[in-house]
Amino acid sequence: MNLGLGRLRKFFNRPAHGRPVRSWCVVVPRERGEEVRRRLKERNVLERHLKVAEEAGHLFIPTPERVDVGWPATEREFEEAFSPIRSYKDVVRVPEELRPQLPSSFDVVGDIAVLKIPGPLVPHRAEIGRAILAWNRTLRVVAQDRGVAGEFRVRDVEIIAGDRRTTTVCTEFGLRYHVDVARAYFSPRLGSERLRIAGQVRPGETVADPFAGVGPYAILIAKRRRPARVIAADANPVAVDLLRRNTAANRADHVEVREGDARVILKETAPLDRIILDLPHSAMEFLPDALAALRPQGVLHVYGILEDADREERVQAIRNAVRDSGRSVKGIHPHVVRAYAPTQHHVAFDVTVGPRSRRAGSARSPSASRTSRTRRTRDAGRRSGRSARPGAARGRRRRR
* Residue 82: strand pairing partners: none
* Amino acid 356: pLDDT: 84
Region 324-332: mean pLDDT is: 96
Lowest pLDDT segment from 5-14, 125-134, 251-260, 278-287:
5-14
Region 25-48: mean pLDDT is: 90
- Beta carbons of 122 and 145 less than 8 angstroms apart: no
Residues 6+ apart with CB under 8 A from 30: 54, 57, 58, 59
* Amino acid 128: pLDDT: 97
Distance, in Å, from the CA atom of 150 to the CA atom of 136, rounded to the nearest integer, reads: 31
DSSP line for 204-247: T-EEEETT-TTSHHHHHHHHHS--SEEEEEES-HHHHHHHHHHH
Buried b / exposed e over 342-355, threshold 16 CB at 10 Å, is eeebbbbbbbebee
The contacts found for 67-70 with CB under 8 angstroms, 24 or more apart, are: 67/24, 67/26, 67/40, 67/43, 69/26, 69/36, 69/39, 69/40, 69/43
The answer to whether the Cα torsion of 279, 347, 294, 316 is positive or negative is negative
Distance, in Å, from the CA atom of 340 to the CA atom of 343, rounded to the nearest integer, reads: 8
Q: How many residues are recorded in the chain?
A: 400
Distance, in Å, from the CA atom of 198 to the CA atom of 220, rounded to the nearest integer, reads: 7
User: What is 19-79's CATH topology?
Assistant: Alpha-Beta Plaits (3.30.70)
Q: How far is CA 170 from the centre of its chain?
A: 15
For the chain, helix (H) and strand (E) counts, in that order, are: 11, 17
- Beta carbons of 267 and 305 less than 8 angstroms apart: no
95 or 6, which is more confident: 95
> What digits encode the pLDDT tens for the residues 233-278?
999 999 999 999 999 999 999 999 999 999 999 999 999 999 999 9
Residues 6+ apart with CB under 8 A from 124: 94, 95, 98
pTM for the model stands at 0.71
- The CATH homologous superfamily of the domain defined by 184-359: Vaccinia Virus protein VP39 (3.40.50.150)
Average pLDDT, the chain: 86
Q: Predicted confidence band at 390 (pLDDT cuts at 50, 70, 90)?
A: very low
- Is the CATH code 2.60.40.1930 the one for domain 100-165? no
